[in-house]
Every structure is written in structure tokens, then in C-alpha cells.
């Protein structure tokens, strides 16, 4: 039925003269009534953006049902209807058949139909592990199983986050998959020893090689085709193991926590294991990901705008009560490995407030429009049609003789060739848009985001670098904003040929971040000589690793960063280790942090007191949770720090406040600490690591040599001759990298006089 309908539409279009998209159409704005899908994975009406948009548009909302998707387009499964007088109830597709010129330059390529489908998704529980077929496969599947695969079109798509959004997408890098097989023995057992050995052997082959592809295909198929009872047993064993680890105080990785969540939603489902094959993404508002045909993915949680080719074809194989087509899925995937590229929206020439998301598909692109309050400007005519969604806020739109006040929940079709005069409401914040690619591939949609008052689009832009008016700054347009997504930590248990017992050491996979965690929560992370030695080994390793650019120092659990030296092992000459020798080796650690040529960030939750307070002061930056507590306790336990613990504190908070902190031994909350300059920022406890990772990623965008020299320079003013020596060494290192420095060395090696005449004596 679907394919015959498409053919009849194409024939109708062929009988008409080709339109002239440059001509401005009459009455180009068409208000739409759009359909809602109430799938079980959606959200309840109070938490669903879909339900709230529907309610804002004047439609009734059923509080007893989930709201999953809002469809805006012509697909026969849920077609949009015209809502204006004279057209009310008529399908948009009927109008496009009668007036194909409304499609403009899209018509010759895509026929008398919108080439894209525009959606808002409210994801409450995970969607199935799935892929969308390419054109050839879609035609074959539709011919064989039209009741399952409802059309013959392919379905490339793009998802743009309105809130923080979790998804599984594409296969993980090969090295990460091998690590997952070690971390999750149940996954390895489900794959089988033959597949595991093939994956390990393929590690020596290059990315994308036939050997790697074959090994990955065999292992993934082995898991997806695992009999349901065996799969359920593997999943149950994995979850029991993870729960036992958590009960013993082990910190589960984001991937392990996700496995427990998925198992709660889909008990015993093989998709809980299959998820380990896929990249775990956490998109921040304003980030988008493009999903080509034949790529595995699964949406986990959050609110998104989604745009795709006009199709509803889905091949499912896990995390679903619906029909599974394991063979179709596994035989059609590309098996490309690696992290997908995240899109943040490129600058558009039409307006400084317009960001364009261009996926590698010809059917559509997405516009995000974020004008400051009261902005009035014109967007030039597009070659293809637009679909406009107002998510919130207010906007007045004029095109030709038409003028409309758009408000939250409004959806409009805008004909090709229509210029738009826009007036943002006084309390508007921003609006978001989708629009088809210009020229040969003109299709698309415009979605308005939080504009105050009435018209808003899918609000999801990052505000990290927004100006006070809400306008993204030039800095943001050039550099973007750093992600707050979880890191994938790789634990290192042996450093300097020693097994770590009191410290946990991790490195973020694919990123230049190391994390050192004092792992004595039963002692409020108080340190012993062994703890300090292990921290020192880890700092030395991070210094020597050229891939590491920033280091996080933190404490295990939410109760304490570090409570200083463990008084139970304190002796007459210091803190006594297992060898019976008393030490104050934490003083050496302070110097090591100070002189380490890479930024060190203290990530503080709970108590940072005594020697722990001094450790955080020695770090270059401190990010504190709102439950953090700071202070010096030494005078209460017969101790003090006459070195950095006194002098560095005085430089940070001033002499009077430093004396107060030492003489009274009071404790201060996180906000008080920030007010006196002890910490850089305070965030809710749940946001502590995401905030810290965002700072790390911003730092890693900068010149490592500049950061190294700046740290030395900032220290030199306070560290006397030792600080000058460190700065001088860094300056020498920098000079060694210059052409002038190399000339002197090379002349010596060549046994010739150096020629410095070509280097200018600058003022």
C-alpha cells in the first residue's frame, strides 16, 4: 500500500511542470495538527516534553498514558493534518500533491512528498538495540515483510539533545571492546572462547581491516543469537556480581551502572550484554549525533529532536518486547568501530543567531536559531520547505502577506522560497530550527527553541559561553563548549612495579585525563605513608605519560576528600608505615604536585581538613561539591604545617583569614570557602565529576607548553629561587623547541660556526 501510494504521488508530480523555487509563494505558512505516538518507552505526561507541547497546542492530554513521540511530516503511519480554516483536517501530503511548487527544489530529487520526517522524542526507558536499513535493504525487507517494514525507504537520521541525553551508538573501538571482555567475564562467556580469541588476534590488524570486521561480526552475532535462557543466565550472573561489588564499596563504572539499569527495564534480555559492544554517549543540550543507515544504536533516556528520511523502518534485535530480526540486523551492519562524531552546529551566514547542523545526508539539515530578546531580522528564502516547531517562548513571523504569532507547541509548514521576517518576544531566549540543505538537497525544518512567551524550539543549546543576553559569544562559535559526558575510565592496578592498595589510579580512555583517588573511605580517606607513596607513584606516572594533560585528585565516596594524616599511625617522628619507619613524606608530595608541569585539579566532596585541606590548596584548581567542608584541625590534635600549609593559605585567603583558620581551627562550608578564594566553583554533589571533567576538557583544548610555563610562572613568584629554577627550566625547554635553539645545536654537531644572523633582534 505504501509503495503504491508513493508511485501514484510520483506520477502526479511528473504530470506537472517543474516548479520555480525562486518565486515567492503565496500564503506559505501552513499551521499543522500533528500526531502523537504513545509507546511504552515514553514518559508520563508531567515529565514528557512531547505531552507538554501537545497540551500547549490546545490538544487534550491523557495523564494515564505515556507520551513518546510527536510526528511532524507526511508519513502514512502518523500524517500531519492542516489546521487552518478552509483546509482543516486535510493531510499535508494532499496539499503537496495539489501544489508541488511548495516543495521547491526538493521536488526533482524527492518527488511530491517531504523527504524528511521531523520528531520530538521523550525517552523514559531504553529503546531497542536497532538499525535502519539502507535503500536497497529497505526495498527488499518491505517486499518480503510489508507488515513489519512498512515502507521501502531508507532512514538515516540525526538526534539533537534538548536535555542531557543518553544513547548507545556504533561499535566501540577495538581496544575498548577487549577491555570490556576482561571487565565483564559474562560477556566473554556469551561470545565464546573462539570469538574472544579471534577478537584478540585481530588487535594486531589495522582499523577497518577484514580481520577485525569478521571477528567483530562473529562475536556480535554470537551474542545476539544466544538462546534466551542462556542469555538470561549470563545477565543474571553479571548483575549479581555487580551488585555484590557495589555492596562491598566498589565504585562501579558508568558502563556497569548502565547494565544494571537496562536489566531492571528488560530483565534477562540479551541486549543488556550486547550494549557492551556499543559506545555509551551522554549528549549535552545542543549536541547532535548523526546515525547513518546500518549502524547499531539504542536511545536510553532524555528528550531529543530527531529528523530523518521519511521512513518508519526499524530492524530490532534486543531490549524490546517487539519482533526481533537478528539475522537481518547482524547481516546488514557496517561493523565500523570508533566514536561517532558529535555535531555542535556550524555558524550560518544568514544570521549570527543561526546554527546549522549538517549531517552527511541529502534529505535534511537542522537549523537552531537563538536570537536575543526583542531581535527583529529576516531569514532569507530557503530552496526547500521548512517544518517549524515552537517549543517555548514567543515569536512573530511574517512572510509575504501572512503574519502569524507563534507560541509554544505550534507547528508550521513553510513553503520553499518564503523569506521569513522574525520578531522575537521581549522575554524570548532562543529558537531552534531545522531546514533542508540548500541548493541540490533542499529540505528541512526549523524548530524554535526556548523563546520566552510563546515560540520556542527544541531548547538544548549549551550555555557555557553564552553572553548575558543569551546570544552565543564569538568564543563559543569558534571553540564550542566542553562536554560533561562521563569518562570511560581504565583502571591501572600496578604502578612503579608496585600493586596499588590504598589509591585507585585511572586514565580516561581516548582523553588526556588521569584520576588519582585516595581509597580509604573507612578512614575518611586519611593517608598513611603508604597512601602518600602510592599517590606519588601515580603522579610520577601521569607526568611521564605524554598522553596525559591534566590530573584529578579526589577521595573515595561522598563523605571525604581527605581528612589528613591517619592519627592511628602517627608516631614520635612522623607517620609510621608497615616498615616501622616514621615519615612525613606528604611534604614531598606537596612539592611534587607543585612542580608537576601539568594542571592538577582537586575534586572535593565532603571533608577536606587537616593535611587533606593542604593537599587541595597545593592543587592548581579546586572544584567542590555543595557538601564539602574545609578547615585546619592540626592545633586540636597537636599538629601544624609551617610550610605550604601556612604560607600558601595566607596567599590564597590573606593573613588575617589564614590566622583565623589556624588559630581557631574552625570548619567552613563550600560557599564560604569559595567566597574566601579557597575553591574555584561549587556544584551539587551529583554534578561534581561532570563539572570537573568539563574543566579538564576545556584545559586540554589549550597549548600544553603555555600551560606548563604559566604554572611555573605563577609558582615562581611565591617559591623563591626554587620557583625561578623551575620557570627557567621550562623556558629552556621551550627554547630547545625553537629554530634558533636548534641552530646552535646543529652547528656544533656539524662542526661549523652557528649562523644566528637570520633571527631578528626584536624590541
Query: What pLDDT is stored for residue 221 in this prediction?
Result: 98
Which is it for strands 629-631 and 607-609: parallel, antiparallel or unpaired? parallel
CATH among 3.40.50.1820, 2.60.120.10, 2.40.400.10, 2.60.260.20 for 343-479 = 2.60.120.10
Mean pLDDT for each 10-residue chunk of the chain (763 residues)? 26 36 73 95 93 92 95 93 87 92 73 87 96 90 86 87 94 94 96 96 92 97 97 96 87 92 96 97 92 94 93 90 93 93 81 84 81 82 86 83 89 91 63 40 37 29 30 44 83 92 92 95 90 94 94 95 84 67 78 93 95 93 95 80 79 89 90 93 93 94 86 78 64 70 78 77 65
The reply to whether 128 belongs to the active site is yes
The reply to whether 155 belongs to the active site is yes
The reply to whether 211 belongs to the active site is no
* Architecture of the domain whose range is 165-342: Orthogonal Bundle (1.10)
Domain locations in the chain as residue ranges: 165-342, 343-479, 502-700, 704-750
Mapped onto helix, strand or coil, the DSSP state of residue 136 is helix
* Residue in 212, 255, 316, 484 annotated catalytic: 316
The reply to whether 157 belongs to the active site is yes
* Residue in 322, 501, 666, 701 annotated catalytic: 322
Fold of 502-700: 2-enoyl-CoA Hydratase; Chain A, domain 1 (3.90.226)
Query: What pLDDT is stored for residue 724 in this prediction?
Result: 65
* Architecture of the domain whose range is 704-750: Orthogonal Bundle (1.10)
* Residue in 49, 69, 101, 157 annotated catalytic: 157
Reading the block at residue 120, the C-alpha cell is: 520530538
Query: What pLDDT is stored for residue 720 in this prediction?
Result: 66
What is the distance between the alpha carbons of residues 396 and 412, in angstroms, rounded to a whole number? Answer: 13
What is the distance between the alpha carbons of residues 475 and 330, in angstroms, rounded to a whole number? Answer: 44
For residue 210, how far is the Cα from the chain centroid? Answer: 30
The reply to whether 725 belongs to the active site is no
The DSSP code sequence of 555-587 is ESSSSEEE--B-GGGEETTEEE-TTS-EE-THH
* Residue in 45, 52, 128, 391 annotated catalytic: 128
Query: What pLDDT is stored for residue 372 in this prediction?
Result: 75
Query: What pLDDT is stored for residue 619 in this prediction?
Result: 95
Strands (E), 284-347: 288-291, 297-309, 315-318, 342-343, 346-347
The reply to whether 322 belongs to the active site is yes
Q: Is 149 left (phi over 0), alpha (psi -120 to 50) or beta?
A: beta
CA distances (Å), origin 475, targets 346, 347, 478, 479, 690: 13, 12, 5, 6, 22
Query: What pLDDT is stored for residue 382 in this prediction?
Result: 80
* Residue in 119, 132, 212, 708 annotated catalytic: 132
From 365, 313, 467, select the one nearest 118 (Cα to Cα): 365
First to last CA, the chain: 80
* Residue in 130, 287, 301, 481 annotated catalytic: 130
Amino acid at each position: 500500500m505504501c509503495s503504491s501510494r508513493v508511485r501514484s504521488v510520483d506520477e502526479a508530480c511528473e504530470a506537472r511542470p517543474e516548479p520555480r523555487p525562486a518565486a515567492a509563494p503565496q500564503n506559505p505558512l501552513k499551521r499543522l495538527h500533528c500526531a502523537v505516538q504513545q509507546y511504552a518507552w515514553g514518559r508520563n505526561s508531567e515529565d514528557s516534553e512531547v505531552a507538554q507541547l501537545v497540551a500547549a497546542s490546545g490538544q487534550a492530554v491523557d495523564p494515564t498514558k505515556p507520551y513518546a513521540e510527536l510526528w511532524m511530516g507526511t508519513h502514512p503511519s502518523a500524517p500531519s493534518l492542516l489546521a487552518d480554516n478552509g483546509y482543516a483536517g486535510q493531510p499535508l501530503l494532499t496539499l503537496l500533491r495539489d501544489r508541488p511548487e511548495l516543495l521547491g527544489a526538493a521536488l526533482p530529487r524527492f518527488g511530491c512528498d517531504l523527504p524528511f520526517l521531523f520528531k520530538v522524542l521523550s525517552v523514559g526507558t531504553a529503546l531497542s538495540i536497532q538499525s535502519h536499513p539502507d535503500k536497497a535493504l529497505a526495498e527488499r525487507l518491505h517486499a518480503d515483510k510489508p507488515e513489519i517494514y512498512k515502507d521501502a525507504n531508507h532512514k538515516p537520521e540525526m538526534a539533537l539533545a534538548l536535555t542531557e541525553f543518553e544513547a548507545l551508538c556504533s561499535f566501540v573501538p577495538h581496544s575498548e571492546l577487549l577491555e570490556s571482555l576482561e571487565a565483564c567475564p559474562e560477556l566473554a562467556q556469551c561470545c565464546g572462547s573462539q570469538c574472544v580469541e579471534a577478537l584478540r588476534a585481530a588487535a594486531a590488524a589495522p582499523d577497518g581491516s577484514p580481520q577485525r570486521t569478521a571477528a567483530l561480526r562473529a562475536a556480535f552475532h554470537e551474542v545476539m543469537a544466544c538462546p534466551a535462557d542462556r542469555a538470561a543466565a549470563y545477565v543474571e550472573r553479571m548483575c549479581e556480581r555487580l551488585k555484590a561489588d557495589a555492596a562491598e564499596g566498589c565504585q562501579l563504572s558508568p558502563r556497569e551502572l548502565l547494565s544494571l539499569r537496562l536489566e531492571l527495564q528488560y530483565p534477562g534480555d540479551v541486549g543488556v550484554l550486547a550494549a557492551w559492544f556499543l559506545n555509551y554517549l551522554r549528549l549535552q543540550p545542543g549536541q547532535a549525533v548523526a546515525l547513518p543507515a546500518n549502524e547499531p544504536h539504542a536511545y536510553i533516556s532524555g528528550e531529543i529532536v530527531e529528523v530523518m528520511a521519511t521512513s518508519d523502518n526499524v530492524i530490532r534485535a534486543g531490549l524490546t518486547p517487539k519482533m526481533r530480526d537478528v539475522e537481518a540486523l547482524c547481516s546488514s551492519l557496517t561493523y565500523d568501530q570508533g566514536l561517532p562524531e558529535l555535531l555542535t552546529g556550524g555558524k550560518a551566514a544568514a544570521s549570527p543567531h543561526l546554527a546549522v547542523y549538517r549531517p552527511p545526508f541529502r534529505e535534511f539539515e537542522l537549523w537552531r536559531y537563538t536570537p536575543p530578546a526583542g531581535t527583529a531580522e529576516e531569514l532569507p528564502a530557503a530552496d526547500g520547505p521548512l517544518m517549524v516547531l515552537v517549543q517555548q517562548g514567543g515569536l512573530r513571523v511574517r512572510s509575504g502577506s501572512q503574519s502569524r504569532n507563534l507560541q509554544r507547541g505550534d507547528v508550521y509548514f513553510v513553503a520553499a522560497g518564503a523569506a521569513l521576517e522574525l520578531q522575537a518576544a521581549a522575554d524570548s531566549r532562543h529558537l531552534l530550527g531545522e531546514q533542508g540543505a540548500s541548493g541540490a538537497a533542499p529540505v528541512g525544518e526549523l524548530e524554535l527553541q526556548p523563546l520566552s512567551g510563546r515560540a520556542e524550539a527544541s531548547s538544548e543549546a549549551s550555555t557555557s559561553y553564552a553572553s548575558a543576553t543569551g546570544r552565543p559569544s564569538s568564543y563559543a562559535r569558534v571553540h564550542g563548549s566542553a562536554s560533561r559526558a562521563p569518562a570511560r575510565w581504565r583502571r591501572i592496578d600496578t604502578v612503579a612495579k608496585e600493586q596499588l592498595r590504598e589509591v585507585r589510579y585511572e586514565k580516561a580512555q581516548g582523553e588526556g585525563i588521569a584520576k588519582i583517588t585516595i581509597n580509604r573511605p573507612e578512614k575518611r580517606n586519611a593517608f598513611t605513608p603508604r597512601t602518600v607513596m602510592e599517590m606519588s607513584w601515580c603522579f610520577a606516572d601521569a607526568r611521564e605519560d605524554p598522553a596525559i594533560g591534566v590530573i584529578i585528585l579526589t577521595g573515595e565516596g561522598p563523605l571525604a576528600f581527605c581528612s589528613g594524616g591517619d592519627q592511628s599511625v602517627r608516631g614520635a617522628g612522623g607517620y609510621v608505615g608497615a616498615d616501622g619507619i616514621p615519615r612525613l613524606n606528604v611534604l614531598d608530595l606537596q612539592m611534587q604536585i607543585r612542580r608537576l608541569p601539568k594542571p592538577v585539579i582537586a575534586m572535593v566532596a565532603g571533608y577536606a581538613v587537616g593535611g587533606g585541606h593542604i593537599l587541595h590548596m597545593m592543587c592548581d584548581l579546586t572544584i567542590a561539591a555543595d557538601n564539602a567542608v574545609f578547615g585546619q584541625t592540626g592545633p586540636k590534635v597537636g599538629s601544624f604545617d609551617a610550610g605550604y600549609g601556612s604560607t600558601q593559605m595566607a596567599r590564597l585567603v590573606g593573613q588575617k583569614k589564614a590566622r583565623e583558620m589556624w588559630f581557631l581551627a574552625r570548619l567552613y562550608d563550600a560557599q564560604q570557602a569559595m567566597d574566601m578564594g579557597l575553591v574555584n566553583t561549587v556544584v551539587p554533589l551529583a554534578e561534581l565529576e561532570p563539572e570537573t571533567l568539563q574543566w579538564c576538557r576545556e584545559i586540554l583544548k589549550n597549548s600544553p607548553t603555555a600551560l606548563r610555563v604559566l604554572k611555573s610562572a605563577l609558582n615562581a613568584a611565591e617559591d623563591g629561587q626554587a620557583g625561578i629554577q623551575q620557570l627557567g627550566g621550562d623556558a629552556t625547554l621551550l627554547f630547545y623547541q625553537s629554530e634558533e635553539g636548534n641552530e646552535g645545536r646543529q652547528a656544533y654537531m656539524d662542526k661549523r660556526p652557528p649562523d644566528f644572523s637570520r633571527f631578528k633582534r626584536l624590541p
